[in-house]
Structures are given as C-alpha cells and as structure tokens.
Amino acid sequence: MKKNVKVHFLILYIYISLLCSGCIHSGIGLEQANNFLTTINIPAVNHRAFKKWQNETSSSLETVTEESVASGSFWKLLEEQDITV
C-alpha cells in the first residue's frame, strides 16, 4: 500500500472515531451528525462505517469506565465533586 493511501485511511479512521465519540457523548445520532457536517461542507459519513466505529468506540468506553470504577478513581472523582449516588 502506498504511503499516501495509508495516511488517508489513518485520517479517515481518526475522523470517524472522533465523530462516533462525539455522538455518544452528546447523545445525537448519525442523521443529526451528518446534517451538521453537511452544513459546514464536510462530507457525510456512511451509516455502515459509522455503526462499525460506534460499536468499537462504545466497547472501548465501556472498558475504560469499568477500569475506572474498579480502581476507585470514579468514586474519588464523585467525592471531589460532592456528588452522591
């Protein structure tokens, strides 16, 4: 594979990963994200690619969350913010 093709795939990987993370964090779906992207003249993302990366991103977020809770850092953060569960 040529170097510029690898760079293109890397940029695309980062772009879709960040989009999926943002959608999960903000609670919006692909349609709303694509509407926003097309408004600022960025091409929309294919629903199959989005779903694939969303599944990968959400499983990574779940792993990080589970490790955070298990290590106690989650509870420490809640105490610092004075939040009761």
Model confidence band, residue 14 (pLDDT cutoffs 50, 70, 90)? confident
Phi, psi of 24 (to 5 degrees): -65, -45
pTM over 0.85: no
Domain extents in the chain: 3-80
Asked if residues 61 and 53 have their Cβ atoms less than 8 Å apart, the reply is: no
Q: What local confidence, expressed as pLDDT, does residue 85 receive?
A: 53
Indicate the angle between helix axes 30-39 and 47-71, nearest 10 degrees. Answer: 110
CB distance 69 to 75 below 8 Å: yes
Residues 62 and 53: their CA atoms lie apart, in Å, by 14
Q: Residues 29-71: pLDDT tens digits?
A: 888 888 888 888 888 888 888 888 777 777 777 787 777 777 7
CB 22 within 8 A of CB 33: yes
